[in-house]
Structure 1
Amino acid sequence: MIKLYKPIVFFFLVFVLNLNVSAQVKGYALPISNATSVVGYKIFEVANFANKQVSNFTNYPNPASLRTTVSYTLSAKTKVNLRVIDLAGKQLAVLVKADQSAGKHEFEWEFANNNISAGMYILVLQVDSKTYTRKVIVQ
């Protein structure tokens, strides 16, 4: 009953009393003017509100000694730039620079290929205008 309380109240206020309702969700306005309005259907398009291009950006193992596997999932086809920087911000390697399709992607980064010694590094994943980061500890 508790889960149904809010939808029932919302239905009563909007459709029975014919009130005007406006909500702000993640930067998108959702005006609902009356019972005949179809604008309210936007609320069901959750993916549009999240606007999340990348999910599950991880690397394993971490800490690592020889290599780490970088994994991420793209919500749509897009340009991807995956690079490694040190703590001073100096770019050490470009691991991926390509257009990639939607779905899960994995890249195995061999430290020896980039003369990486023990320390902490940052993986920088750029997807269109968004930037995601992960720390990598090399033993």
Structure 2
Amino acid sequence: MKPAATAKVTLLLNCAPSSSGVKGIFSRTRTKGPNEQKLLEEDGCSANDFVASHITEATIIISFLTECFNKVPLKAMVPIPPVWEAPEQDAGLQKPLKIATKKKTKREREGKKRREEKRREEKRREEKRREEKRREEKRREEKRREEKEKKDKRKRKG
């Protein structure tokens, strides 16, 4: 990395307010003290035009810092202030990270299918049992009614 970019990394690490992480990366107020001002002047830019003229380098710095911070993407940790709008080519940086998942083997997929089929079969059997119970209950109810009617007829005759 060229010395100017290294100086900016140092500057960013010095200027970043501790309460908001590295949120100060795109902030317009760069100068905190004589050291930071000196770093900016060595690089040939004033504190106020840092954002306007160095967005590309700031993006490089973000990726550099990302490597330093154990591969944790800074965009995930740091909310970018609304002052800065991402250029078209940087739109890809805001995509969420895709977590790699292990592809299932044929045996695992087939096992899942078998389990689902067993579950469906069990549901069918359960439904048949319920239906059979309903029919049986109807038959009993019908028999009770017939018995009651027979008794009523006998009482009327007798």
Q: Under a length normalisation based on structure 2, what TM-score does the superposition of the two structures give?
A: 0.18
- The structure with the larger Rg is 2
Greater share of residues in helix: 2
Q: Which has the bigger relative contact order, CA under 8 A and spacing at least 6?
A: 1
**Structure with the larger strand share:** 1
TM-score by length of 1: 0.20
